[in-house]
Amino acid sequence: MENQEIQNIKTLFDKTYNGPAWHGTSVKEVLKDISHEDALKNVGDAHNIAEFVYHMIAWRYFLINNLKGQTDYDVSDEENFQKIDTLSEDEWTKLKGRLEVSQNEMQDLLSKTEDDILGKKVGSRNYTYYVLMHGVIQHDLYHLGQIVMLKKHA
């Protein structure tokens, strides 16, 4: 079957975000009942939940922009970990909405992507699109674990 590996990666992105996920609760499930107040809580000097979500979005757009051929695109320091001290309910809803949009945009782009891209280097970087795609999935899961821990302390 053509583009089978891209289809496998799309499935991993979908299960990680929407579930059911092998690892447990999906990103969407974890975030759905977090209030905007709880999204600002942190432990010690750790980032808060809203900052982690913003960070996840930034790296998803790193993949999206590179898939669109913008191989010189990079995540700025501000985008990488935006400091979020205040957050209204509407802003929290919009931030979660941006994460959902990034999910849909990635899936749409992957639907139009051929398997042969997987072995190609991402611009001048020292890794391939295969590594980048799996890296974004792993990145989401890493921060999802942090969000779950912060959620327990909220």
pTM score, whole prediction: 0.95
Count of the separate structural domains present in the chain:
1
Mean pLDDT within 7-17: 97
Domain CATH number, residue 139: 1.20.120.450
Mean pLDDT within 35-58: 95
Q: Name the region of 123 (left: φ>0; alpha: ψ -120 to 50; beta: rest).
A: left
* pLDDT at 1 exceeding the cut of 70: no
**Distances from the Cα of 40 to the Cαs of 27, 80, 96, in angstroms?**
17, 17, 14
pLDDT of residue 43: 86
pLDDT band for position 45 (50/70/90)?
Answer: confident
Quick one: which of 65, 63, 57, 68 has its CA closest to 112? 68
* pLDDT at 146 exceeding the cut of 80: yes
Question: Which percentage of the chain shows pLDDT scores above 70?
Answer: 99
pLDDT of residue 47: 95
3-class SS of residue 24: strand
As a whole number, the mean pLDDT across the chain is: 95
* pLDDT at 60 exceeding the cut of 80: yes
pLDDT band for position 35 (50/70/90)?
Answer: very high
CB 57 within 8 A of CB 98: yes
7-16, 78-87, 131-140: segment of lowest average pLDDT: 78-87
Q: How far apart are the first and last CA of the chain?
A: 46
Residue ranges making up the domain that contains 114: 4-153
* pLDDT at 122 exceeding the cut of 80: yes
CB 6 within 8 A of CB 118: yes
